[in-house]
Amino acid sequence: MTTTATNELFQTEKEELISGSEAIALACALADVDVITAYPIRPYDTVMQYVSKLKADGSFDCDFIVAESEHSQFEIVKHASSVGARTFTGSSGVGWFYAFEAITVTAGLRLPVVAMVGNRALDDPGAFGVEHNDALAVRDLGWMLYWVATAQEALDIALLAWRVAEDPTVFLPFAVSCDGSFLTHSQAIVNVPTSEQVNKFLPPYDRGKLQLHPDNPITIAPQVNEDWLMEMRRQSDEAMHRSVGVIKKAYEEFKEIFGRGDPSPFVEEYMTEDADIIIVGMGTLALPVRVAVRRFQEAGRKIGFVRVKFFRPFPTEELQEILTKCKAVCVVDRDYSYGAPSYGGVLFTELRSALYPMEKRPLMLNFIAGLGGREVHVNDVNDMVDIVQKAIETGIIEQEATWIGVRDN
Partner 1 sequence: MSTVAVEVVYRGIFQRTLARNIVRSIVFAARKEGKIGTAFGRYGDSPERNGIPAKQFAVVADDAEELEEVLARYEPTEVDVTINVDDTMCKGIESWAWYGLQPINQLTKPNGTLIVTSRQDADSLVEDIHQKDTPFDLSIIKSTVSFSGLWVYKDDHTDARILGTLCNVCPQLFSIDSMLQALDEQGNGETKLASAQKAYDVATIRTVEPGEGNSEVPYKFELLGWQTMEEGLVIRAQGKGGGFRGGDEGFQPDRNEVFKKYSTRSMRPVINFETCIKCTLCWLQCPDTCFDITPDGLYDANMESCCGCGVCEAVCPVPDCVTMVSEADFNDNSSQWEAWQEDKPSYQQWMTALVDKQKAETRTHGFHHVGGYTEEIAASEDA
- Please give the residue ranges that form the binding site for partner 1 (CB under 8 A): 15, 17, 19, 42-43, 124-125, 128-129, 180-182, 185-189, 287-288, 290-292, 294, 373, 375, 377-378, 406-409
- Phi-psi category of residue 13: left, alpha or beta, with phi > 0 → left and psi -120 to 50 → alpha: beta
User: What size, in residues, is the chain?
Assistant: 409
Tell me which residue of 54, 23, 7 sits closest to 190, measured CA to CA. 23
CB of 41 to partner 1, least distance (A): 11
Asked if 109 and 171 count as a contact pair (C-beta separation under 8 A), the reply is: no
CA atoms within 13 A on the CB side of 73: 28
Provide the strand spans (E) within 222-286.
267-270, 277-281
The CA–CA distances, whole Å, from 245 to 114, 225, 237 equal 19, 32, 14
H-helix or E-strand spanning residue 249: helix 229-258
Query: What Rg do the C-alpha atoms of the chain give, in angstroms?
Result: 21
Q: Which CB atom, from 13 or from 206, has the smaller least distance to partner 1? A: 13
CB atoms within 10 A of CB 86: 26
201 in helix, strand or coil? Answer: helix
Instruction: Tell the smallest beta-carbon distance from residue 186 to partner 1 (Å).
Output: 4
- In the complex, what is the shortest distance from the CB of residue 383 to partner 1, in angstroms, rounded to a whole number? 15
Give the nearer residue to partner 1 in terms of CB position, either 129 or 281.
129
Q: Letter for the amino acid at 25?
A: A
Cβ proximity to partner 1, 189 vs 230, nearer residue = 189
Closest separation in Å from C-beta 268 to partner 1: 14
118 or 173, CB closer to partner 1? 118
Instruction: Return the number of the residue (179 or 276) whose C-beta is nearest partner 1.
Output: 179
Is the CB of 239 or the CB of 292 nearer to partner 1?
292
Q: How far apart are CB 104 and partner 1 at their closest, in Å?
A: 29
Q: How far is the CB of 58 from partner 1 (least distance, A)?
A: 18
Dist CA 122 CA 130 (whole Å): 9
